[in-house]
Structure 1
């Protein structure tokens, strides 16, 4: 049986069935190549970046940066500088993504430059904690805002968790069934959240024209002079920019990645930087610094003062923002699992592709299943806080991988080649951001997080290096049940 799909969708499959006369078992020899669809273009790529960066933070509480910098002027410098640093990272990742054209982001680049063990430790940390907990927190934020629109009976903790679980399952279905549908959801919700932020930005510009400029007069007065405090202010703002690297997780699904990956990375980060700075200016035209610091939901306070009866627009925008951010996290998070399974760092089953839709169904289901478990953890926010520094540890290691591949792959043609100073500056900033929170406020939880990362070797040695555990029967049953196939199988001899 021959099944062919034209172009880069590339599903090619040939099956030869044979029945042994001496056994009732059926032997199936398979020669197959199944690849993910290339359905992420420039617009959907930009939407993925913008949609995953902009979550609920810019709507709720940008006061953390202002509180640490202690002045409006310095806080805006930090927001702008954080956007510049994210841009340095996006440029570095653009060269990596066009040099190593594999999905998985940091995992693929660390594997190429440093080998199996560092790549496994990244996959171990990302797959088990960072990605699933991020999805869980975003969906819990979504559910908490949704419950403000209707009264309900019962435990105040149960209902939001149920809604968050439903949101995760919904996103799992969307992303499993169609790359196109997931991309369209991302575009729709990104447009909605940008629309709400445009309202804040235009409102701020109008109020500036009306003379509401008090907060910007002598705006650097009272600024902190502590380098460590400024570093921590950058640290908070940079987490608001987190997601700038997400398009590199789906490189294999990008249409013309040599063109669209760098363009989407640059345009997406630039757009978010402009939006963040203008939105903060917009907030400050409607409230003083002290009022902003006292507000638990800055966007809602701004809406009450400027939009008045139409203030409900902003809470609705938060719903769109969080749902879109969760969709982007599910879309990209599953690809790390997919690539780690393909390389043998996770069960091979997790690298299989749904043959009807050409989506990484098992990896998406696996990621969402762990996210559902995370919803039940009462102190999930603290868990993520103490693992957050590991993200910049791996960002720095990824930047270092580019420096390594400038030597090991020096003869490889490069479509994108960034000035080496950009990568070095980004690497130095990443190193500082790993060290700064530990030096500023050392806590035992940082040690626990480090032990967890290194503890992944306990699983690596028996399961990956020696492959002591086999799940062939489970893989066979799941193939039949889920209609999945390996992304690539060498022809049988």
Structure 2
């Protein structure tokens, strides 16, 4: 508890190793096992797909420099929410938290949990697809378990993250090693004329970047727990600048391994490129790959839980700068990655996203700005805090 402001602050229990594991463990989910075929489908050639993977990692690394400055200047948890709040005020910060808490985080957790459940249930049904009810119940159980773990103990959640991060790194090293062996055996035909058939349309390139960037998603999650990092001015930049080059190199080597084992046509039609790779290269040991997907996705969901709750926490606590060239560059890149797929492939879903943002603005105006129904949630909030033993975000120190 901060005795000067009366606001609750979180304990600093995340060291450098845990910080690196949090970033790497959240980034490496199911994406690297599934996205490569889509990146290749959109750009049309092995060489172009490898450029997309490299450029995606480079963009995230450049963005990390901005987040290092933000995280060491604004030493509060909450990630994008608190940065927007401190620089632009309540309304854009509320829309950020509204989108994150009610749409982006839940949808991401649900999608990853369904992928996890699909791979958990698959071995019990042989060649058949697992029933939808089994997959959904397994996904719900994983969400419940991880929600309880993250609600009970920060140290337990970080230890689980560390264990699963090392497990998923081991599985990627297996794929990388297999690719190196194949290349030494002469499987290099897919790297000859590597750019033949490249598709250069803006919409296709934009969609390829979205697939690649999705696999890197989570690189910024450490900034959601800034208040819990020991010596954040030192460990935050170190963790980001260790994690991002490591993951970029791993992703590039994994894609090279995929291309050493399969033709572009096989990758595009595989449906699950890592599983296809495992069956071709590992033979009867191919079951290691589905297990790796389960471990990766479980760790990624845990990391999302661990960091996602901090946005809600900081937004509740608050009641809801960086210099020149890097932010400008990132703004241009971000706008381009958003606009290019809309121009190249307009869809009705984009309208739904815009309407959801408008609904958040309406909620803000009615409940926060004009304070309609003020005090309506006070009693339910106090009741839930007492029932769940949740500390209030502010305390009366008088």
TM-score bracket, shorter-length normalisation: over 0.9
Q: Select the residue among 273, 276, 287 that pairs with 1:301.
A: 276
- 2:114 corresponds to 1:140: yes
Q: Select the residue among 319, 323, 331 that pairs with 1:427.
A: 331
The answer for the alignment partner of 1:225 in structure 2 is: 200
Find the aligned partners of 1:83 and 1:431 in 2 and give their Cα distance: 17
Larger Rg: 1
Q: Select the residue among 365, 369, 374 that pairs with 1:461.
A: 365
Q: Deviations over 1:318-369 (max 9, x none)?
A: 1101100100111111111101111112xxxxxxxxxxxxxxxxxxxxxxxx
Q: What stretches of structure 1 of length at least 5 have no aligned partner?
A: 1-9, 13-30, 346-401, 407-419
The answer for the alignment partner of 1:52 in structure 2 is: 26
**Any conservation in 2 of the 1:103–1:248 contact (CA below 8 Å)?**
yes
SS in 2 for 1:103: coil
**Any conservation in 2 of the 1:59–1:299 contact (CA below 8 Å)?**
yes
The answer for the alignment partner of 2:174 in structure 1 is: 199
Higher share of residues assigned helix? 2
Find the aligned partners of 2:381 and 2:393 in 1 and give their Cα distance: 14
451-460 or 153-162, larger mean C-alpha shift: 153-162
Q: Select the residue among 233, 236, 240 that pairs with 1:265.
A: 240
**Any conservation in 2 of the 1:250–1:335 contact (CA below 8 Å)?**
yes
- 2:350 corresponds to 1:446: yes
Q: Deviations over 1:169-228 (max 9, x none)?
A: 110111111111111111111111111110000111111111111111121122123234
Q: What stretches of structure 2 of length at least 5 have no aligned partner?
A: none
SS in 1 for 2:298: helix
**Any conservation in 2 of the 1:88–1:423 contact (CA below 8 Å)?**
no
SS in 2 for 1:150: helix
Find the aligned partners of 2:339 and 2:277 in 1 and give their Cα distance: 36
RMSD, matched Cα: 2.0
Find the aligned partners of 1:182 and 1:134 in 2 and give their Cα distance: 19
**Any conservation in 2 of the 1:37–1:179 contact (CA below 8 Å)?**
no
SS in 1 for 2:261: coil
Find the aligned partners of 2:216 and 2:95 in 1 and give their Cα distance: 24
Structure with higher RCO (Cα < 8 A, 6+ apart): 2
Find the aligned partners of 1:257 and 1:202 in 2 and give their Cα distance: 35
SS in 1 for 2:290: helix
The answer for the alignment partner of 2:388 in structure 1 is: 482
* Counterparts of residues 266-285 of structure 1 (less than 5 Å): 266-285=241-260
Find the aligned partners of 1:82 and 1:235 in 2 and give their Cα distance: 9
The answer for the alignment partner of 2:189 in structure 1 is: 214
Find the aligned partners of 2:343 and 2:130 in 1 and give their Cα distance: 41
Change (3 A) 1:155 1:73: closer
- 2:58 corresponds to 1:81: no
**Any conservation in 1 of the 2:172–2:254 contact (CA below 8 Å)?**
yes
**Any conservation in 2 of the 1:69–1:230 contact (CA below 8 Å)?**
yes
1:11 deviates by: 9.1
Find the aligned partners of 1:225 and 1:177 in 2 and give their Cα distance: 50
Q: Select the residue among 110, 119, 123 that pairs with 2:97.
A: 123
**Any conservation in 2 of the 1:69–1:224 contact (CA below 8 Å)?**
yes
Find the aligned partners of 2:87 and 2:378 in 1 and give their Cα distance: 31
**Any conservation in 2 of the 1:79–1:277 contact (CA below 8 Å)?**
yes
Find the aligned partners of 1:32 and 1:115 in 2 and give their Cα distance: 21
Q: Deviations over 1:235-290 (max 9, x none)?
A: 22111111111111111111111011111112111111011100000111111111
**Any conservation in 2 of the 1:60–1:300 contact (CA below 8 Å)?**
no
Number of corresponding residues: 394
1:454 deviates by: 1.9
Q: Deviations over 1:70-113 (max 9, x none)?
A: 11111101100000001111111111011111111000001111
TM-score, normalised by the number of residues in structure 1? 0.77
The answer for the alignment partner of 1:316 in structure 2 is: 291
**Any conservation in 1 of the 2:275–2:286 contact (CA below 8 Å)?**
yes
Higher share of residues assigned strand? 1
- 2:183 corresponds to 1:183: no
429-438 or 441-450, larger mean C-alpha shift: 441-450
SS in 2 for 1:192: helix
Find the aligned partners of 2:35 and 2:221 in 1 and give their Cα distance: 23
